[in-house]
Amino acid sequence: MEVLDQTVWIHINYRTWQGKKTLTRDELKRYADPSKTPPEDLITPGTKAIADPEKLKRINSLGKRIHRECEKVCLKAFGAYGTSIEAGETLLARLQELKDEHHMLISEYLDSYEQSNIEWINDHPQWEDWLRNSMMSRGEIENRFKFEYQAYKISSGGQGALMNDGLIQEQNGLLGQLLLEIEKMANDAWVASYENRDKTGQKALSPIRTILNKLKTLSYISNKVNVLIKRVNDVLNSMPKSGPIEGADLSSVCGLLNLLGSSKRMTDFINQVPQHQNDVFDQIEENDEENLILSEPADTARNEEFEFDTTEESEVNVNTPSIPKPVAQPALFCF
């Protein structure tokens, strides 16, 4: 279970408010007539905008930033973000900064909430009574916002072979999950900076460096990740340090994104290197077998040792297995 022992899991609980309220049945009937329907900025299918959405943009965009920060160095499993303990400590510090920012933004919004409502009504004088009757109090709004996070580790639990087998199965599926997430990052980079272009700028290499950092951070999951790390490093090291990326350099990057843009192609690529030849990569180390000691019931008056072989096979299954119920333990740096 060495991979799980080296992983910290971070659960994000982020809740926000869009400035909307559900339409009542009477309102749905009343506004079925297009001539009586409020303007588009006040009503959408099933909801009404009782607050200015522009004033909520910074708060709502913060939620996306929080998840992006996690996705840079984590993979998703067990309903949380998992990463190395070292990277987890750095990420938790960053999340605390974002939590402080969240608190500041919420305080600023609530302090200006009443004035913002007046301005919203003034922008729609024809619907003043309707808006006033729909608006919520500051206390009601405050409870709509939340940002909490918890860090924990998962252990084998010692409840018998069934639990341990399930965790080993999930552990072996982490590589497949990582490849799926790299696939998405590569395809996003392709669409944003490379598709239908005959040259691009230095900034276009930034998402590839982010991919490289994620692979390095999570390389402890499997020695095979180092095969991809070497490939990405080789391409980035061959790029010019300034000026546009074009010609043969652009073709090299596009070829890399073609590889990274498919979990199947990545699986085939890393499986081309036989397991016994992995020592050609500097960062690859041989896996050691780990013995798990499971406690017998007290009446047996003895402990028996069970061995679980977590050494990877030469072929990698990219499908993420079903998730067993984990046994969670708080990490030392929980918040």
Q: Which of 270, 297, 321 is the last residue of a domain?
A: 270
Domain-embedded: residue 314: no
Which residues lie closer than 8 Å to 94 by C-beta, 6 or more apart? 69
Domain-embedded: residue 146: yes
Let me know whether 9 and 131 are in one domain.
yes
CB 83 within 8 A of CB 8: yes
331 has a pLDDT exceeding 70: no
pLDDT of 28: 82
Let me know whether 221 and 121 are in one domain.
no
Q: Which of 237, 255, 270 is the last residue of a domain?
A: 270
Domain-embedded: residue 282: no
Average pLDDT, whole number, for the chain? 81
Q: 164 falls in which pLDDT band (50, 70, 90)? A: low
Q: Which of 214, 248, 270 is the last residue of a domain?
A: 270
DSSP three-state, residue 259: helix
Lowest mean per-residue pLDDT among 7-21, 24-38, 99-113, 230-244:
24-38
Let me know whether 139 and 1 are in one domain.
yes
Let me know whether 79 and 147 are in one domain.
yes
Let me know whether 3 and 134 are in one domain.
yes
pLDDT digits (tens, 9 = 90+) for 222-267: 999 999 999 999 999 999 999 999 999 999 999 999 999 999 999 9
Domain-embedded: residue 288: no
Domain-embedded: residue 309: no
CB 255 within 8 A of CB 194: no
Let me know whether 141 and 14 are in one domain.
yes
Highest-confidence range of 162-176, 256-270, 311-325, by mean pLDDT? 256-270
pLDDT of 156: 57
Domain-embedded: residue 306: no
pLDDT digits (tens, 9 = 90+) for 173-198: 899 999 999 999 999 999 999 999 99
Let me know whether 250 and 120 are in one domain.
no
Q: How many domains does the chain have?
A: 2
State the average pLDDT over residues 139-152: 94
Quick one: tokens of 163? 């639990």
Lowest mean per-residue pLDDT among 26-40, 105-119, 161-175, 211-225:
161-175
Domain-embedded: residue 290: no
More confident residue, 37 or 241: 241
Domain coverage including residue 247: 173-270
pLDDT digits (tens, 9 = 90+) for 48-59: 999 999 999 999
Single pTM value for the model: 0.74
Which residues lie closer than 8 Å to 66 by C-beta, 6 or more apart? 12, 14, 95, 98, 147
CB 210 within 8 A of CB 218: no
State the average pLDDT over residues 264-285: 66
Let me know whether 179 and 242 are in one domain.
yes
Domain-embedded: residue 80: yes
Let me know whether 127 and 230 are in one domain.
no
Which residues lie closer than 8 Å to 142 by C-beta, 6 or more apart? 106, 110
Let me know whether 133 and 6 are in one domain.
yes
d(CA 172, CA 166): 10
Let me know whether 146 and 243 are in one domain.
no
Let me know whether 74 and 3 are in one domain.
yes
